[in-house]
Amino acid sequence: MPELPEVETVRRALLPHLVGATVTAVVVRTERLRRPVPCERLQKVLPGNRITGLERRGKYLLAELETGGALVLHLGMTGTLRVCPAPEPFTPWDRVAWTLTARRQLRLQDVRRFSIVDCFPQPEPIPEYLKRLGPEPLGKRFTADYLIRVFQGRVRPVKNALLDQTIVAGLGNIYVNEALFAAGIRPERPAGSLRRGEASRLLRAIRNVLRAALEAGGSTIHDFRLPDGSEGSFAQQLAVYGRTGKACPRCKHPIRQSRLGGRGTFFCPNCQK
DNA sequence: AACTATACCTGCAAGC
DNA sequence: TGCTTGCAGGTATAGT
């Protein structure tokens, strides 16, 4: 579900609830998530620990701890986070809960169980899966030069390359489709075939799409919810994603759908070369 | 080494 | 109406 704009929206919404709060208890209701929840470590590290910051890296949220480590959360496809009164009854999809001071509880709800909950006690070492993430698409390390360099000699479709979190961290299927449309590039183009002008158009397109989505609070297609239960409104601005057969907003050609990297791929056959 | 397909899990919509 | 099928924003992995 949540790509960078959704995760960042969640981060901003949770910030005032989490930062400064102390975790008093951890309730693991489902151990089997995307990876097994490290219950022992959570119980050892979290109770009594104060949350000093809430950061995002790619699609991961990091609740930084007073002791130097962090609680790591990833929402998978259908995960949502919210803060509620601690005594509120659980639903069957509430997987993990963190009781906080002031009788509040942070809850991870996830129908499909693709979420990740992890925690590390010290600033070092940073877990391998975080270390290998590529640059932030809105950060200054993400440049046209960088794109050209990592695409160099690559034959795989540019769409697949952009979904690869070690190349750039935070893009998912929605925003990759949208960015390629905005840049006028066909998703199946070999990554290495992009010329310099195309790479810098792509770079700008990625940034613009992400910024617009952030402004709208992300896209709610099926499940995504902000921590207060509300929806992101960027779905209304989608040009190609999920719009098979509908008119391209730029040229009115019908949007076409294909499959790339096992995922639905949407493009305008006229605007994207 | 680079890359793709598959598996993981559940709910829902579309098609019959 | 009810059943079956395919698809869904995620990534790790097994396999080519």
Digit-coded pLDDT (tens) for A80-100: 999 999 999 999 999 999 999
Question: What per-residue confidence (pLDDT) applies to A255?
Answer: 94
In strand C, the nucleotides that come within 7 Å of a protein beta carbon are: 7-12
Closest amino acid to nucleotide B13 (CA–C1'): A222
Q: Could you write out the DSSP letters of every residue in chain A? A: ---HHHHHHHHHHHHHHHTT-BEEEEEES--BSSSB--HHHHHHHSTTPBEEEEEEETTEEEEEETTS-EEEEE-TTTEEEEEEETTSPPPTTEEEEEEEGGGEEEEEEESS---EEEEESSSSSPPHHHHT----TTSTT--HHHHHHHHTT--SBHHHHHH-TTTSSS--HHHHHHHHHHHT--TTSBGGG--HHHHHHHHHHHHHHHHHHHHTT-B-SSS---TTS---BGGGG-SSTT-TTSBPTTT-PBPEEEEETTEEEEE-TTT--
Whether A59 sits among the annotated catalytic residues: the reply is: yes
A263 strand C contact, CB < 7 Å: yes
Please check the confidence at residue A224 and state whether its pLDDT lies above 80: no
When pLDDT is cut at 50, 70 and 90, the band that residue A150 belongs to is very high
When pLDDT is cut at 50, 70 and 90, the band that residue A226 belongs to is confident
- Per the confidence metrics, is the pTM higher than 0.85? yes
Whether A131 sits among the annotated catalytic residues: the reply is: no
Closest amino acid to nucleotide B5 (CA–C1'): A262
Which residues make up the interface with nucleic strand B when CB must lie under 7 A?
Answer: A 32, 34, 111-114, 153-157, 160, 191, 261-262
Name the catalytic one among A56, A59, A189, A225: A59
Name the catalytic one among A188, A204, A263, A269: A263
Q: Which nucleotide is nearest to A111 (CA to C1')?
A: B10
When pLDDT is cut at 50, 70 and 90, the band that residue A225 belongs to is confident
In strand B, the nucleotides that come within 7 Å of a protein beta carbon are: 2-11
Tell me, in Å, how far CA of A18 is from C1' of C12? 30
* Range with the poorest average pLDDT among A48-52, A68-72, A219-223, A239-243: A219-223
Whether A2 sits among the annotated catalytic residues: the reply is: yes
Digit-coded pLDDT (tens) for A178-212: 999 999 999 999 999 999 999 999 999 999 999 99
